[in-house]
């Protein structure tokens, strides 16, 4: 049966990243003020005359604006959510105008720790202010204004991206008609914050981190970032999936009675860690994990999630994955519950998947059929 669901390989093709410059100061939740900033984004599809078909894609921890298609100068660098976005795909670019963004504090062209601090002319580094999910939302709203989007047909995000969709629905209810929150949570648990803290400590205690000003020292805290990513990777997968993918298989030569790479899983983790450390900014990683830690709409409403969701008018779709232990199905159910208490329209799917938290990036047929069914019913 699962194979009966329509699939599409339609691609948005070659896309070009865009940037928007904002010269009005942005006051952040911390009280810090960014004098101005730049946001990188991409768009797929066409904004209709009524400007009613815009969908915002919010990135997760390591995500950025390049969500679909390829760049002319990098034909192999397919966008991170390309399996979802494209003509005939669940988020169909022949119907919707899709906007994908690199958030404030990011390291893919938007203003962040690698950008020059206007006060010093040197990279912000660790001096870049701590940004929250709500700050991201505020910056995204300025981009929406610039694009002429008063109200998003939908905002979709997985994990940390789902938190951005929730923030919009709570704080800018008139500007979002549907929120699609995948593999997310209304706030992190202590265990989840603990994983983030280990990742941060790996980075901060790397001697090459230099208190976050490593750019000036011509170094990169590769070891720290690598460890942070290795840890993250373990938590984004399930025990079952790792058993299936690697088991206890040894690389060639069997046991060497050493601490070299012997098990396949070690090789995989080191590869993922190295790849990430070469392409991602350590300060951005710190900022993004902190944004995750701080997100807590219920905490901002006296501990009552339903009260926090009271301003919401958007319809919601929640999706979770059975083996996701980092953002477990029960956490999505808390959101469903808060929405029901406010008598909002909400649908919820709990997808059987062995791939853990990473499932939200994959194209499980049921998962994508759920998204397709939901998007198809959105009137524009």
Partner 1 sequence: MSTLDIRIDHDVIASWVAEGARVLDLGCGDGELLRYLKDKRGASGYGVEIDVERVIAGMKNGVNVLQIDLEEGLYDFEDQSFDLVIISNALQTLHRTEKLLCEMLRVGREAVVSFPNFAYWKHRVAIMDGHMPVSDRLPFQWYDTPNVRFFTVADFEALCDKLGISVRERLVLDDAGKPVTEEHNFLGSFALYRLG
Site for partner 1 in 300-319 (CB under 8 A): 317
Asked if 340 touches partner 1 (CB under 8 A), the answer is yes
Q: Give residue for tokens 């906007």.
A: 99
- CB 248 → partner 1: shortest distance, Å? 32
- CB 360 → partner 1: shortest distance, Å? 16
159 is catalytic: yes
CA–CA distance, 14 with 43 (Å, rounded to integer): 11
Asked if 185 touches partner 1 (CB under 8 A), the answer is no
Residue 92: what are its φ and ψ, rounded to 5°? -80, 115
Nearer to partner 1, 193 or 362 (CB): 362
Site string for partner 1, 128-157 (x = CB under 8 A): ------------------------------
- CB 111 → partner 1: shortest distance, Å? 39
CA distances from 374 to 37, 174, 263 (A): 34, 20, 42
Is there a contact between 151 and 177 (Cβ–Cβ < 8 Å)?
yes
Residue of 51, 333, 362, 363 that binds partner 1 (CB under 8 A) = 333
CB-neighbour burial class of residue 11 (10 A; exposed 0-12, middle 13-18, buried 19+): buried
Site string for partner 1, 350-369 (x = CB under 8 A): xxx-------------x--x
Asked if 3 touches partner 1 (CB under 8 A), the answer is no
Written as one string, the DSSP assignment of 80-140 is: TTTTTEETTSSEETTT-EEEEEEPTT-SSSSSSTTSBPTTTSSB-GGGSPP--HHHHHHHH
324 is catalytic: yes
**Interface with partner 1 by CB under 8 A: which range of 89-97, 188-196, 212-220, 343-351?**
343-351
Region of 43 (left: φ > 0; alpha: ψ -120 to 50; beta: rest) is beta
CA–CA distance, 29 with 83 (Å, rounded to integer): 34
Residues with catalytic annotation? 159, 324, 357
Q: Contact positions toward partner 1, by CB under 8 A?
A: 1-2, 5, 317, 333, 336-337, 340-341, 343, 345-352, 366, 369-370, 373-374, 376-377
């Amino acid at each position: 049966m699962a194979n009966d669901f329509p699939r599409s390989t339609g691609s948005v093709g070659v896309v070009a990243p865009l940037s928007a410059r904002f010269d009005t100061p942005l006051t952040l939740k911390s009280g810090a003020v960014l004098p101005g900033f730049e946001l990188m984004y991409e768009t797929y599809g066409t904004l209709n005359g009524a400007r009613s078909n815009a969908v915002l894609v919010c990135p997760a921890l390591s995500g950025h604006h390049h969500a679909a298609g390829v760049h002319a100068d990098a034909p192999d660098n397919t966008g991170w959510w390309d399996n979802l976005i494209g003509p005939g795909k669940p988020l169909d670019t022949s119907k919707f105008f899709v906007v994908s963004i690199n958030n404030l504090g990011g390291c893919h062209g938007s203003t962040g720790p690698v950008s020059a601090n206007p006060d010093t002319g040197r990279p912000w580094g660790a001096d870049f202010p701590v940004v929250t999910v709500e700050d991201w939302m505020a910056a995204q709203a300025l981009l929406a204004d610039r694009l002429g989007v008063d109200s998003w047909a939908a905002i979709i995000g997985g994990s940390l991206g789902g938190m951005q969709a929730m923030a919009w629905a709570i704080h800018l209810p008139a500007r979002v008609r549907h929120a699609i929150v995948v593999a997310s949570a209304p706030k992190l648990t202590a265990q989840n914050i603990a994983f983030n803290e280990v990742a941060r400590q790996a980075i901060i205690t790397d001697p090459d981190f230099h208190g976050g000003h490593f750019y000036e020292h011509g170094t990169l805290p590769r070891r720290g970032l690598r460890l942070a990513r290795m840890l993250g990777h373990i938590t984004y997968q399930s025990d079952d999936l790792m058993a299936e993918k690697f088991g206890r298989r040894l690389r060639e030569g069997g046991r060497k009675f050493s601490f070299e790479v012997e098990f396949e899983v070690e090789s995989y983790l080191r590869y993922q860690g190295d790849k990430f450390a070469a392409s991602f900014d350590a300060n951005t990683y710190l900022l993004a994990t902190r944004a995750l830690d701080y997100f807590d709409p219920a905490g901002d409403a006296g501990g009552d999630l339903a009260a926090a969701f009271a301003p919401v008018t958007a319809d919601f779709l929640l999706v979770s994955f059975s083996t996701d232990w980092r953002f477990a199905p029960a956490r999505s159910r808390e959101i469903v519950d808060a929405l029901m208490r406010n008598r909002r329209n909400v649908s919820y799917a709990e997808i059987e998947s062995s791939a853990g938290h990473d499932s939200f990036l994959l194209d499980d047929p049921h998962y994508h059929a759920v998204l397709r069914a939901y998007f198809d019913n959105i009137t524009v």
